[in-house]
Structure 1
Amino acid sequence: MTRDTDEEPSRTADRPADADGDVTGVERELAAAGEPYARVTVVRREPPVSANVGDRAVVTREGDLRGWIGGAACAQTTAVTEALAAIEDGQPRLIGIAPDPETVARPGLAAFPMTCHSEGVLELFVEPVNPRPELVICGGSPVARSLARLAGELAVDVVVVDPVGDPADLPDGVRLLTDTDPEAVAGAVGHAPLVVVATMGSFDASGVAAGVLADARYVGLVASAKRAGEVVDTAAALIDRDPDDVAAAVTNPAGVDVAAYTPAEIAVSILADVVDHRRGRGDTPRAAPDAVAGDESAVEADDDADADADTGDTTADAEDARADAPAEAIDPVCGMTVDPSETAHSVAHDGETYYFCCGGCAESFRAEPAAYLDTEDAAPT
């Protein structure tokens, strides 16, 4: 079968020199780097156009088009715009580009005008290729442990952030991070993760801050409404962001409304919420505050030891400081008396080491030490 060369421009004349590049190789490189992209394939054409059915290109997250879908600038601009939208929402789409969009419009196809002088018709299938998402679970609480177990049934890579976690206690394939520093966590996970913060107050703010820094598509917080406000303010201070911006990124209470109460039930409700956001909806009714806040009573009673899990400072310097510590110290945040030899929470500030009853107090102090050093009670000894 011969081509209608008298009805269309020569492909070789219109193609840029690098149009025959190895698109498969580009896809391989992007996949290896964990970068999302969109594959654009010509599925129908009417001359005169310089592309053929089966020609394809790749559009990166930055909007770079690699490959060949024809030389018309308007077609390429439309393809890139729709490809970026597909990367964002994860949904494939079929688009038609014609001088009169009404001539190709039909159910399931989005029609756009062909404004270039070639006046040909192209139909393109745009397919997003997003890397397997990461579900980052912050905490070692009963809810966090249930999440790590149940998430194995979803198509996600599970990462647990727990400073006192043991890889042997985690399900197969789950990655453990023990550094709770927000920048360290954000740097250790991929693009747009799904983040659930369920630390029972140990390092909630650090988990939320890490999710914001990682541009997470979902940051779910397991906390009461009152504590959530405090967590957001502390997280914003930790990463020097506007509290309103951080609040807008956080879903609280995490989970959908299924009257969850036990750790496993709460985990199921949170995973349903995660799926909803992953599919681009995020409009399922929120869990009832009392149900999710139950993690701070019923869930903690279920496993008091895990409720005490915290960030801890296990560095050699912290151990040396603890060895030289006084017999008693006052937590500058809450005023409680603390035994430095037993607490796992300390913060060095201006040459002094301060000791805390829990990770939440340590986080608050680390974010804004000046706010807690205005009274005599704030002394480290």
Structure 2
Amino acid sequence: MTTDDTADGEPNGDRSRIDDGDVSTLEEELRARGEPYARATVVRREPPVSSNVGDRAVVTADGELHGWVGGAACAQSIVATQGREAIEADAPRLVGIAPDPETVDRPGLDAFPMTCHSDGVLEIFLEPVTPTTELVVVGDSPVAGSLTRLADELALDVTRVVADAADAGDVPDGTDVVDTVDPDGIAAAVGPSPLVVVASMGKYDARGIAAGVAADAPYVGLIASDARAEEEVARAADLLDSDPESVRAAVTNPAGVNIEARTPAELAAGLLAEVVDVRAGVSGGAAVGSAADGAETTDDETADSDADAAADDGDDAGGSEPAVDPVCGMTVDPDDAAASVEHGGRTYHFCCHGCADSFESEPSAYVEEVNA
């Protein structure tokens, strides 16, 4: 920068700026937070302007400019506005700023008038930097496994959520595995605004939904029948201590594009198509069609089992004596139960967290209350 260059009549030293090291640090912070931004770099100058080729700045998604590309508020406002538009369009652009825009106007360049008092010329390249979208797949079902493998082919950071790391099976290199089904734990482990697909087939769907809502996910897709979806949403609302309608509004069910899928891999393909659509901002998460209708029957059929008879076996089970899940009627090894709940002086053991959550929400629906 030369000493005779000024910006809008003000000496260079009077205008706040951050150096290249600060710009790099800011970029790292934005990437860590998963926030998009635009990198602005001076690629051509004609004096008098208060910047050199190579000077750079960062434009955040809200249009704030940090760094130095020269010019006073007139030029800086153009760079900030164009930077924000580059972020929104996710497309780079070359901007020229000159007293007479026609002198720099050419194909591939957007020309703007230099309204500052100086008569210099600036050309600035704006490059949007969009963080990789994180896809969170909740569940250990075959559909979840297929979706994890298929998503590895796309520009997605994939996180698999299971109750136990061993349940994830073989996952592609680079896939993160989160082995907790605590909603707060899941939300804390994933990045900001992930895309979430819940496919545990009733084991801990409510917890996956709650985690997606807690993480401000723009898309929470659920693989479930309509009846079970309503139950899972209600349980998720209880976990969040939130209004069920607000939770329901955040959930897409049935999730996935309707491609008449029959196999887990085909279901996953329909889900991935919708994820790609949502990521591109085309559908905003609206369900295009059902890829899950008729895809599951076993969990609904199990739920119709005789829960009252199962409750008779809900007493404390010592040693390896089997217990019966009072919600679904499955036989459970107390030493290997997915969850256990104390109620009315008894310990009830459950095959999955979904059954435990349902029981805790309304225990009287599954066992006779014991009067003290």
TM-score range (shorter-chain normalised) is 0.7 to 0.9
Q: CA deviation at 1:244?
A: 3.4
Q: CA deviation at 1:55?
A: 2.9
Q: CA deviation at 1:271?
A: 0.9
Residues in 2 aligned to 1:323 and 1:86: alpha-carbon distance in whole angstroms? 64
Residues in 1 aligned to 2:323 and 2:20: alpha-carbon distance in whole angstroms? 72
- Could you say if the C-alpha distance between residues 325 and 98 of structure 1 is closer, same or farther in structure 2, counting changes exceeding 3 Å? farther
Q: CA deviation at 1:346?
A: 2.1
Whether the aligned pair in 1 keeps the contact of 2:164 and 2:180 (CA below 8 Å) is: no
Counterparts of 1:288-367 in structure 2, within 5 Å, are: 288-289=289-290, 291-297=291-297, 323=318, 331=326, 334=327, 341=334, 343-348=337-342, 353-356=347-350, 358-366=352-360
- Unmatched runs of 5 consecutive residues or more in structure 2: 302-315
In the alignment, is residue 232 of structure 1 matched against residue 246 of structure 2?
Answer: no
RCO comparison, higher one (Cα < 8 Å, 6+):
1
Q: Which structure is larger by alpha-carbon Rg, 1 or 2?
A: 2
Residues in 1 aligned to 2:217 and 2:257: alpha-carbon distance in whole angstroms? 19
1:303-349 Cα shifts (integer Å, max 9, x gaps): x9xxxxxxxxxxxxxxxx86489976773xx5858757374332346
Match of 1:193 in 2: 194
Secondary structure of the residue that 1:196 maps to in structure 2? Answer: strand
In the alignment, is residue 377 of structure 1 matched against residue 368 of structure 2?
Answer: yes
Whether the aligned pair in 2 keeps the contact of 1:8 and 1:47 (CA below 8 Å) is: no
Residues in 1 aligned to 2:213 and 2:44: alpha-carbon distance in whole angstroms? 42
Secondary structure of the residue that 1:216 maps to in structure 2? Answer: coil
Residues in 1 aligned to 2:369 and 2:122: alpha-carbon distance in whole angstroms? 70
Q: CA deviation at 1:273?
A: 1.1
The TM-score with structure 2 as length reference comes to: 0.74
Q: CA deviation at 1:137?
A: 0.6
1:143-178 Cα shifts (integer Å, max 9, x gaps): 001111111111222211111341553333322211
Whether the aligned pair in 1 keeps the contact of 2:6 and 2:48 (CA below 8 Å) is: no
- Could you say if the C-alpha distance between residues 108 and 350 of structure 1 is closer, same or farther in structure 2, counting changes exceeding 3 Å? farther
Amino acid at match of 2:358: S
CA-atom RMSD in angstroms: 4.4
In the alignment, is residue 265 of structure 1 matched against residue 266 of structure 2?
Answer: yes
Amino acid at match of 1:176: V
Residues in 2 aligned to 1:35 and 1:65: alpha-carbon distance in whole angstroms? 14
Residues in 1 aligned to 2:366 and 2:181: alpha-carbon distance in whole angstroms? 29
Residues in 2 aligned to 1:335 and 1:273: alpha-carbon distance in whole angstroms? 32
Residues in 1 aligned to 2:124 and 2:370: alpha-carbon distance in whole angstroms? 68
Counterparts of 1:138-157 in structure 2, within 5 Å, are: 138-157=138-157
Whether the aligned pair in 1 keeps the contact of 2:7 and 2:118 (CA below 8 Å) is: no
Whether the aligned pair in 2 keeps the contact of 1:336 and 1:357 (CA below 8 Å) is: no
Q: CA deviation at 1:68?
A: 0.7
Q: Which stretch shows the higher mean deviation, 342-351 or 64-73?
A: 342-351
- Unmatched runs of 5 consecutive residues or more in structure 1: 305-320
In the alignment, is residue 37 of structure 1 matched against residue 28 of structure 2?
Answer: no
Q: CA deviation at 1:125?
A: 3.8
Match of 1:252 in 2: 253
Residues in 1 aligned to 2:119 and 2:226: alpha-carbon distance in whole angstroms? 58
1:348-378 Cα shifts (integer Å, max 9, x gaps): 4698644445432322344xx3x44489625
Counterparts of 1:281-292 in structure 2, within 5 Å, are: 281-282=282-283, 286=287, 288-289=289-290, 291-292=291-292
Whether the aligned pair in 1 keeps the contact of 2:255 and 2:289 (CA below 8 Å) is: no
Amino acid at match of 2:182: D
Whether the aligned pair in 1 keeps the contact of 2:71 and 2:116 (CA below 8 Å) is: no
Identical-residue share of aligned pairs (%): 54
Q: Which stretch shows the higher mean deviation, 371-380 or 162-171?
A: 371-380
The TM-score with structure 1 as length reference comes to: 0.72
Residues in 2 aligned to 1:38 and 1:217: alpha-carbon distance in whole angstroms? 22
Q: CA deviation at 1:64?
A: 5.2
Residues in 2 aligned to 1:247 and 1:98: alpha-carbon distance in whole angstroms? 52
